[in-house]
Amino acid sequence: MQNPSTEILGADDVSRAITRIAHEIIERNSDLNSVVIVGMQTGGTWIAERLCEAIERITNGTVLPLGAVDISMYRDDFSLRPIVLSAPTDIPVDLTERRVVLVDDVLFTGRTVRAALEALNDHGRPRAVQLAVMVDRGHRELPIRPDYVGKNIPTHPTDEVSVSVNGVFVTTHAESV
Amino acid sequence: MSSSSIVIRGGTVVNPSGNEVADVRIVNGLIDAVGTGLQGDVILDAAGAYVSSGFVDLHTHLREPGKEEAETIETGSRAAALGGYTAVVAMPNTDPAQDSVMVVRFVRERGEAAGLCEVIPSGCITMGRNGANLVPYASLAAEGVHIFTDDGNGVQDPLLMRRALEYAAPLNVTLAQHCEVSRLTEGAVMHEGACCSSMGVPGWPAIAEELMLHRDIELVRLTGARMHFLHLSTKGSVELVRQAKADGLPVTAEVTPHHLALQDELLRGFDPLFKVNPPLRTAEDIEALKAGLIDGTIDAVATDHAPHAAHTKEQPLDAAPPGMLGLETALAVLNTAVNVDVRRIAEVMSWNPAQIAGVGDHQGRPIAVGEPANIAVWDTTSVWTVSRDELASRSKNTPYHGMEVRGRVRHTIFRGELVVQEGKALK
Amino acid sequence: MKHLLSTHDLSIDNIVAILDTADHMTEINARPVAKVPALRGRTVASVFFEDSTRTRLSFESAAKRLSADTMTFSAASSSVNKGESLRDTIETLSAMGVDAFVVRHKSSGVPAAITQWTGASVINAGDGWHQHPTQALLDTYTITRSFGLKDSLQGRSIAIVGDIKHSRVARSDIDVFTRLGAEVILVAPPTLLPHNIATWGVKTASSIDEVVGKVDVLYMLRMQFERMDSGVIPGLAEYSSRFALTPARARLLSPHALVMHPGPMNRGIEMVVDPSDLPGSRILQQVANGVSVRMAVLFTILGGGATATLQQGVDA
């Protein structure tokens, strides 16, 4: 049974969070020209695009390379569920010696990020990889932590978290209450 | 022979003169009485069943000598008895082939030892079925061989076939042809048609059968010798035989139950179980064969019972040997596939083949006092499901496994002895 | 999808999904490190009872780029020569732990038969004259992507030239091309056409000259030398005169027309022209696409992504 979802962040909150993260990325990376923004297919790609736009706006014209990475071929849970291919990987530059900001919507167990790190390696050897997420919902299963977070939200493992331009919503399933 | 009396009670006796409900009593290998209210030591229930002369199979591969892992004369005889047969013609493609007095005697003696049905050896047309040298027809005829055939191969050489017919004619034997021009079937796997074409396997054209059949009909016309045609499978073949008979030629023909019941489409799954020579044909051919069987163009239903050990059928379709079991399912498959009356069943399963096999003096006889007691009791209504695991044959290659059929053999009496009772072999 | 035995097992949706997946694989193959861990821990056994080095290598590259372990069994150097039965061979290899068999055999129907003796998936890499489903998929991939198409060949005409009757490639291609809406024209002498061709929903032509200027794709088949020995055609010279792609004929091709060949080519017989002189040649592209498409097939069968549809919003 589907329960009504609760709004955690509104559309304006999401927009403000993206702007804040863009500022943090600029502050943290003095050599901004070496940064590549890579969105994770498919939930992270729109956030990555917004981050690029925000950085361009804030810096008055610095356009960072924008890429996308599909991690379905790198998952470690094939036996647990069918693999569903999303959109193809598109990395526009060699990542060697670059600073990569990996972008996803929700950070949960960390397994997707682990797979993405492996996927990025096949496109070169970055100097550093930083992680930006809109929501950190906890329950990590791997030693992975985000560098930039839109919002930390305590959740139950069975909750569903959805992120879009319209906001962040959490749906709690009846049986998990 | 049994010294006690057997009474078959309450069945419908099927005779050329007509059908009647009557009891039949058997004493000392002969029919002792036909009437009502007969008493005896052993009473067999035949209510709702037909009582006819035992079936005679013109075409049985017993595999012994040479391929005893597939079938022996004893296991094949048991399968025959369960199918209502009291006589089978043992095909000569054994190893060694049945081209000498020694091998022919061996087959007959093994059949007698099994004692389940009469095993009638056939002889080859050519030595070792090599298509080159004639067998000693007269010596083999003196051993009681009546049917000569190179079955498995057609005799390709028209000159040799002409000589065989000319030589054998005065001996009062019958040459039986497996009609197949082998040059047209090299590597062939299944009927050449739409199905084979899309499956990408070499086709077995109808013309390969019809060409040789046509040649041999003309040789019969030329020599006047008698000829029998094995396992017709095509519409064109039926028409050729129909015309030959209309011309008054001394020819007879048989069809197998599987060519009446099964189509080439069954090979879609590449299962070698459905590979047979000649191949399963199309619905149109099946309809023509049924019509030929009903109108008398085709004289007999013969099984072409061809056992193969499991490992030989577990090969690619093109490498697997052709052939399928038939003895234990023949009546049921015929009765299920073709709308024939019981008189025609008795005719094509017993009376006609007994004549063609040259055993008409003691097989395929009327159910009448004083006649030899070779009898089958069967019905046309019992519905059962064929299971390869319940067959008596040593091999399992029945194409009917899991299929529901109608009609069953209840009892078989061979030379006055009860060999099958209520569908179970007694020895 | 458990097995891939025949193109007839594939719905149009299945075909489109596999080709979409092949796009992902093409992207992977273009990377500096053309390898992903998708099938780590899976074992793919290529079991070739008939030699075909290029098909075997294509499948093995595909498996390796997906990080599957590979085993190779070739009849020439195996116990098949010692009389081991097909069933025993398959059961023995299965017992070593195989997730998918890639099977090539000279007899039609063998891959289907093998499914009874193993719990592993079976992929047909060519059986007799019957089927070569991955070839049809890679050919379809090559044609659609060359024309910027995704899921249809509607309005395109494809001539297949040569020995159709004995060709598993033709049987597979004809099925997929016609179901995707292409007009297929078979160009061959009647002795090299399958029986009952009238029921196949294709056109026929008796010389390459009838089609060369009109078609979008000219698909040349390999002419097997042994066909001459069996008297199916009178001779190579006569065959070439009616069915070979010559420089003169190549000049008549439409500017956008593709020339394809499943390989290996017989230069001087069906290919009198040098394909490197043909702007429309996709023959090497077919080989490259073969790896991508076979990766897509292996991934679809072993990765569990049966439909591989583009789904949005996959949760981490």
- For C244-292, write each residue's pLDDT tens digit: 999 999 999 999 999 999 999 999 999 999 999 999 999 999 999 999 9
Whole-complex ipTM: 0.89
Q: Please tell me the predicted confidence (pLDDT) of residue C197.
A: 87
Residue B373 lies in a domain: no
Measure the CA–CA gap between B255 and C163, rounded to whole angstroms: 37
Among A75-89, A108-122, B91-105, C69-83, name the one with the lowest average pLDDT. A75-89
Are B230 and B212 a contacting pair, CB within 8 Å? no
* Topology of the domain comprising A17-156: Rossmann fold (3.40.50)
Tokens representing B215 are 């040649």
Tell me: the pLDDT tens digits for B149-158?
999 999 999 9
Residue B425 has pLDDT above 70, yes or no: yes
Q: How many domains does chain B have?
A: 1
Tell me: the pLDDT tens digits for B186-214?
999 999 999 999 999 999 999 999 999 99
Q: Please tell me the predicted confidence (pLDDT) of residue A123.
A: 86
pLDDT (average), residues B267-281: 97
Q: Please tell me the predicted confidence (pLDDT) of residue A122.
A: 85
Residue C83 has pLDDT above 90, yes or no: no
Residue among B198, B268, B271, B273 with most chain C CBs within 10 A, to mutate: B198
Write down the pTM of the prediction.
0.90
Measure the CA–CA gap between C104 and B271, rounded to whole angstroms: 18
pLDDT (average), residues A96-104: 95
pLDDT (average), residues A161-165: 93
| The one catalytic residue among B150, B216, B285, B304 | B304
Question: Which residues lie across from A68 on neighbouring strands?
Answer: A39, A90
Q: Which residue of B has its CA nearest to C132?
A: B200
- pLDDT class for C305, splitting at 50, 70, 90? very low
Q: Please tell me the predicted confidence (pLDDT) of residue C231.
A: 81
Active site residue B304: yes
Give me the CATH code for the C7-132+287-302 domain, please: 3.40.50.1370
Measure the CA–CA gap between B130 and B123, rounded to whole angstroms: 13
| The one catalytic residue among C54, C87, C150, C251 | C54
Residue C306 has pLDDT above 70, yes or no: no
Q: Where are the domains of chain C?
A: 7-132+287-302, 133-285
Give me the percent of chain A exceeding a pLDDT of 90.
Answer: 74
Taking contacts as CB-CB distances below 8 angstroms, the residues of chain C near A73 are 24, 28, 36-38, 66, 299
Q: Please tell me the predicted confidence (pLDDT) of residue A2.
A: 57
Q: Is B62 exposed, middle or buried (0-12, 13-18, 19+ CB in 10 A)?
A: buried
Q: Which of C33, C36, C311 sits opposite A73 (nearest CB)?
A: C36
- pLDDT class for B284, splitting at 50, 70, 90? very high
C133-285 architecture in CATH?
3-Layer(aba) Sandwich (3.40)
Write the DSSP string, B337-390: HS---HHHHHIIIIIHHHHHTT-TTTSS--S-TTSB--EEEEEEEEEEE--GGG
Tell me: the pLDDT tens digits for B52-82?
999 999 999 999 999 999 999 999 999 999 9
Tell me: the pLDDT tens digits for C7-23?
999 999 999 999 999 99
Residue B248 lies in a domain: yes
Among A80-94, B92-106, B297-311, B359-373, name the one with the lowest average pLDDT. A80-94
The helix/strand/coil state of A174 is helix
Residue B179 lies in a domain: yes
Question: Which residues lie across from B254 on neighbouring strands?
Answer: B300
Q: Please tell me the predicted confidence (pLDDT) of residue B40.
A: 95
Q: Please tell me the predicted confidence (pLDDT) of residue C228.
A: 67
Residue B245 lies in a domain: yes
Q: What is the CATH number of the domain that holds B191?
A: 3.20.20.140
Residue A56 has pLDDT above 60, yes or no: yes
Residue A89 has pLDDT above 80, yes or no: yes
Q: Do at least 3 CB pairs under 8 Å connect B with A?
A: no
Question: Domain range for residue B265?
Answer: 54-356
Q: Give me Rg for the CA atoms of chain B.
A: 20
Same CATH topology for C7-132+287-302 and C133-285: the answer is yes
Q: Please tell me the predicted confidence (pLDDT) of residue C308.
A: 31
Q: Please tell me the predicted confidence (pLDDT) of residue A175.
A: 59
pLDDT (average), residues A102-108: 96
